[in-house]
């Protein structure tokens, strides 16, 4: 599937980030709220993340070539991993600024117009995040899902900051503003860690989620009822692309022609489960004990038994 069209969502995210940076920075300048400053800092992270997303989506859309025979889809994990790291850096800067404001309190100014600007910026982020989330789910893109999650975190962050500034304006308790900023930083840290962990899982070739494995097993069970057996089932996911490898055990007297058709039918049934998948099957005779030698996950660790003719040659 050609995924080059996904870059338009990255451009949308970049445009939203630029707009919110301008609006939130203006709100901070008008009010002097460190909470609003933390909000503006996160928007800079959004911009860097969106630029990285554009770059990685462009790479991931490239077709397979001689150097990357399984495609370039793993590039998306680098984007979400970097965005998670940028989120952690932003959280650190927010914590530092909030602590400074706790030590040196400051009255807020022009709160009304500052809050109005911040609400407008949050509305932009909310609309864009909904759009990105739908696209991420539809096209199975971890990059778009990560960007959407980050923007939605930004929306909730902004809501907390706005609430804090409102409380300060009513109670005049200036300490609430930096405390809200610290709470925002903790929320941002959690989001960053989640994105990094998910990216590492993708790069480490984690198996398909359990619900999808159950669907695969459902297909295999139908063939088991016809007398066929399976082992060495291995799966992994690379962004939208799924990889499934399985060994099919058929009667030893079955013709290559019939066995090939069984494998083709199974592959087509598995392909119908997913939009994008690479299926690898391997036929083996049920009666042959050697067929059980490669059941282990780490096939390289298996010590194969010598064939009878090899024993004879050695004894001569």
My answer on whether 195 and 233 are in the same domain is no
- Considering the domain architecture, whether residues 199 and 217 belong to the same structural domain is answered as no
126-158 residue pLDDT tens: 999 899 888 887 887 777 877 787 787 777 777
For 194-245, how does the pLDDT look when each residue is reduced to its tens digit (9 = 90+)?
778 877 877 777 788 888 899 999 999 999 998 899 988 888 877 667 889 9
Place of tokens 């599937």: 1
Residue 216 pLDDT: 92
Considering the domain architecture, whether residues 19 and 111 belong to the same structural domain is answered as yes
Count of domains for the chain: 2
Q: How confident is the model at residue 313 (pLDDT cuts 50, 70, 90)?
A: very low
pLDDT score at 316:
45
Tokens (6 digits) for 103: 């030590």
* pLDDT at residue 155, as a whole number: 79
Q: Is pLDDT at 315 greater than 50 in this prediction?
A: no
Question: How would residue 302 be classed by pLDDT, with cut points 50, 70 and 90?
Answer: very low
Tell me, yes or no, whether 151 and 265 share the same domain: no
Predicted confidence at residue 267, as pLDDT, reads 92
Domain that holds residue 261: 210-315
Long-range contacts formed by 41-45: CB under 8 A, 24+ apart: 41/90, 41/93, 41/94, 41/97, 42/87, 42/90, 42/94, 42/153, 42/154, 42/157, 42/184, 42/188, 43/17, 43/121, 43/154, 44/17, 44/90, 45/83, 45/86, 45/87, 45/89, 45/90, 45/150
Question: What is the pLDDT averaged over residues 173-197?
Answer: 79
198 and 220 fall within a common domain: no
Report DSSP letters for 110-140, one per residue: -HHHHHHHHHHHHHHHHHHHHHHHHHHHHHT
Can you state the angle between helices 34-60 and 7-31, rounded to 10 degrees?
170
pLDDT score recorded for residue 295 = 64
Last residue of a domain, one of 203, 233, 268: 203
Could you report the per-residue pLDDT of 86-126, keeping only the tens digit for each?
Answer: 778 777 877 877 787 777 766 665 567 777 887 888 888 89
Hey, how many other C-beta atoms are within 10 angstroms of the C-beta on 203? Answer: 13
Say what the pTM is.
0.58
Are 129 and 20 found together in one domain?
yes
Per-residue confidence (pLDDT) for residue 72, from 0 to 100: 72
Same domain flag for 101 and 27: yes
Domain boundary among the residues 176, 203, 230 is at 203
The CATH code of the domain that includes 117 is: 1.20.1510.10
């Amino acid at each position: 599937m050609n995924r080059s069209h996904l870059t338009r969502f990255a451009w949308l995210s970049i445009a939203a980030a630029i707009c919110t940076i301008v609006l939130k920075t203006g709100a901070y300048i008008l009010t002097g709220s460190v909470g609003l400053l933390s909000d503006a800092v996160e928007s800079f992270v959004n911009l860097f993340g969106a630029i990285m997303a554009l770059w990685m989506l462009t790479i991931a859309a490239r077709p397979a070539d001689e150097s990357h025979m399984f495609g370039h889809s793993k590039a998306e994990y680098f984007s979400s991993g970097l965005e998670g790291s940028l989120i952690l850096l932003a959280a650190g800067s927010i914590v530092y600024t909030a602590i400074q404001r706790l030590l040196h309190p400051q009255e807020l100014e022009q709160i009304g117009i500052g809050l109005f600007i911040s609400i407008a910026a949050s509305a932009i982020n909310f609309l864009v995040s909904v759009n990105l989330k739908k696209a991420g789910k539809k096209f199975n893109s971890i990059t778009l899902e990560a960007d959407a999650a980050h923007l939605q975190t930004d929306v909730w962050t902004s809501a907390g900051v706005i609430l804090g500034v409102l409380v300060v304006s009513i109670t005049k308790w200036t300490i609430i503003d930096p405390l809200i900023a610290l709470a925002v930083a903790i929320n941002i840290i959690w989001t960053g860690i989640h994105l990094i962990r998910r990216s590492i899982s993708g790069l480490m070739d984690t198996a398909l989620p359990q619900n999808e494995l159950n669907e695969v097993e459902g297909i295999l069970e139908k063939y088991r009822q016809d007398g066929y057996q399976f082992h060495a089932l291995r799966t992994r996911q690379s962004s939208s692309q799924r990889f499934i490898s399985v060994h099919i055990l058929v009667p030893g007297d079955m013709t290559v022609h019939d066995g090939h058709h069984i494998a083709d039918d199974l592959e087509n049934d598995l392909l119908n489960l997913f939009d994008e998948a690479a299926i690898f099957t391997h036929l083996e005779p049920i009666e042959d004990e050697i067929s059980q030698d490669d059941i282990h996950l780490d096939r390289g660790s298996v010590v194969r038994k010598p064939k009878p003719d090899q024993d004879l040659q050695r004894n001569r």
